[in-house]
Structure 1
């Protein structure tokens, strides 16, 4: 199976309001996508669909060739890693950072009485080191700053060795140094063929790691443009999405944008 996610003619209506309309999109193994668009574009709804947390009104949503709705939640949690600011409030404040990361190996948000093998402990420590938070392993999760929690969450999302990884604004709340450390780690992972297919939702082009291959540009619940990032992330396409003149620039795989008169 070379397709991770597949959405075919998907519509989502909530309280008689169209949230997503005629959405068609595929993410293949080895592709790392960025989702861009203004507030209300449908980015959050898209992630909920992919994680089986919101049913489509019509159309099909598949993961690895199976309907998402038919995959047991425990299995889906191991197939799809997830990090977002909303998840931060669900993680146990009184558990150590190491336990918070370990629990993800079994699709849990907190550690209870389950046991873990040495290989799990080694992986958790390696992931914390990869995202520059190794020294926080024995700290209580609730004592961390927002930026530290963000990096722990991203490390946690990789713990179960998922087939796909959804990162919802992973750099939100990070200072410049922490953001760059995170992006360098994600860049390294994007270049590793063993890494899961990654889907990054962001509002800021500066937060796109080098090595991401494709972009999905949304507006008002529809796909405006999608494709390889170099050909699709253009000033014209982003200006259309945001309804204003935007200049897009890039260098060495990194991106930035600013308004123009």
Structure 2
């Protein structure tokens, strides 16, 4: 199997603070990973390493066969699709223009840059495939969060990346929009079986059905890594979140619910 990502004995230290400790993770082509853990656990830092956005303090990171620190970062980033619902767009671009910025890896359209016919044609195909035809010429500021999310997927796929990173993609979505988004991700996995994806979340209900692997993160360390069915268990998730949480897997989706513990406080204390 082709290694898409390989993190070996990775530490990340910022100032006097240790962010990550001894991270070991390998992602192969066609695998769909979830990074799960409480806020501040280190998930986003791991994702930034996967996306060549920062370097490890110690250890090695290989992305698409290239070792960070020994490769031209900009060229490497062009081969990585990144979906972030906090996309910092300030201009009044249309959905189609946002998709086209994926060709240059920028937030805004590059001055004096004109996409060629093949790029425009691919952008339009992605817009149609993701159900965005009706809003292709809509202003970004008028679009719903769900429409924006699908637009960012189209943007990330424009360069035909081998790796797609999704950073809490369901942020800000209502239940219906979240389900539509997850259906889109599942359909993408079916249409691009070789594509490797890594999704960050702290809500198991936000995992697509097609999730194959998971890594639980706690205090900058990996609690468990492996097949999703083996990792997303009541015992391991409880350990990761340091709180009793019951995990169920039914109809190919995961569900989490806190396990109630007997009350110990006097009623008048609340």
Gapped regions of structure 1 (runs ≥ 5): none
| d(CA) in 1 for partners of 2:221, 2:210 | 26
Is 1:75 equivalent to 2:75 in the alignment? yes
Gapped regions of structure 2 (runs ≥ 5): 261-270
The answer for the alignment partner of 1:202 in structure 2 is: 201
| d(CA) in 2 for partners of 1:194, 1:30 | 5
Give RMSD over aligned pairs. Answer: 1.7
| d(CA) in 2 for partners of 1:145, 1:183 | 16
The answer for the alignment partner of 1:239 in structure 2 is: 238
Partner SS, residue 69 of structure 1:
coil
**What do the CA deviations read for 1:201-223 (whole angstroms, capped 9, x no partner)?**
11111111111110011000000
Q: Which deviates further from its counterpart, 73-82 or 113-122?
A: 113-122
The answer for the alignment partner of 2:85 in structure 1 is: 85
Partner SS, residue 141 of structure 2:
helix
Is 1:162 equivalent to 2:161 in the alignment? yes
Partner SS, residue 18 of structure 2:
strand
CA contact (8 A) 1:38 1:203 kept: yes
The answer for the alignment partner of 1:117 in structure 2 is: 116
Correspondences of 1:1-261 after superposition (within 5 Å): 2-86=2-86, 88-89=87-88, 91-112=89-110, 113-261=112-260
Partner SS, residue 69 of structure 2:
helix
| d(CA) in 2 for partners of 1:126, 1:68 | 33
| d(CA) in 1 for partners of 2:67, 2:194 | 23
Whichever of the two has the greater Rg, that structure is 2
So what's the TM-score if we normalise by structure 2?
Answer: 0.90
**Which contiguous aligned blocks of 4+ residues in structure 1 show a shift greater than 4 angstroms?**
none
1:175 deviates by: 1.7
1:32 deviates by: 0.7
Residue-pair matches, total: 259
| d(CA) in 2 for partners of 1:74, 1:65 | 15
So what's the TM-score if we normalise by structure 1?
Answer: 0.93
Q: Which deviates further from its counterpart, 164-173 or 141-150?
A: 141-150
| d(CA) in 1 for partners of 2:247, 2:113 | 49
